[in-house]
Structure 1
Amino acid sequence: MEVKIGVQNANRELTIDTTLDADEVQDAVSKAIADGTVLALADAKGRRIVVPAEKLAYVDITTSVAGQVGFRS
């Protein structure tokens, strides 16, 4: 699942391909905001992204959809 994280005062968004499902990502974001801590997510390769909850602008959770090859009828 692809997660895009917008950070306040940053020109680029952070993108991570995580093995978590949408509900787990949403729970992690909600908990980080409620507790005033950091949002920490890891991708399938072990890379970890940590963002202070007060700096989050948005979190876009998108399920990966495989592209189709060829013609459709």
Structure 2
Amino acid sequence: MSVEVKIGIENTARELSLSSAEAADKVYAAVTAALAAADGVLELTDDKGVRILVPAGKISYVEVGSSESRRVGFGAT
């Protein structure tokens, strides 16, 4: 099961959105550790193996949630 992560960044109109294979608890731990450090950097890896680095001082918010597939259209049940 993958986890959907959305990160709001200061002075940026769009949020950074990624899907991670990590468990939600591991993502929360990474966010907490990055925010606790003086010059922390949030490091996450998406489900394709791409590493994302965000300076913790620029993070406005982080949303972590399940990325259960939402069916839309004629195939939705």
**TM-score in terms of structure 1 length:** 0.88
Gaps of 5+ in 2: none
Which of 38, 42, 46 is the matching residue for 1:43?
46
Q: Percent identity?
A: 44
User: Are residues 67 and 53 of structure 1, via their aligned partners in 2, closer, same or farther at CA, if it must alter by over 3 Å?
Assistant: same
Instruction: Between 60-69 and 16-25, report the one with greater CA deviation.
Output: 60-69
**TM-score in terms of structure 2 length:** 0.84
Gaps of 5+ in 1: none
Instruction: Give the alignment's Cα RMSD to 1 decimal.
Output: 1.2
Question: Where does residue 34 of structure 1 map in the other structure?
Answer: 36
Question: Where does residue 63 of structure 2 map in the other structure?
Answer: 60
**Divergent runs of 4+, >4 A:** none
Amino acid at match of 1:53: A
Q: Distance in 2 between matches of 1:33 and 1:70?
A: 40
Q: How many residues align?
A: 71
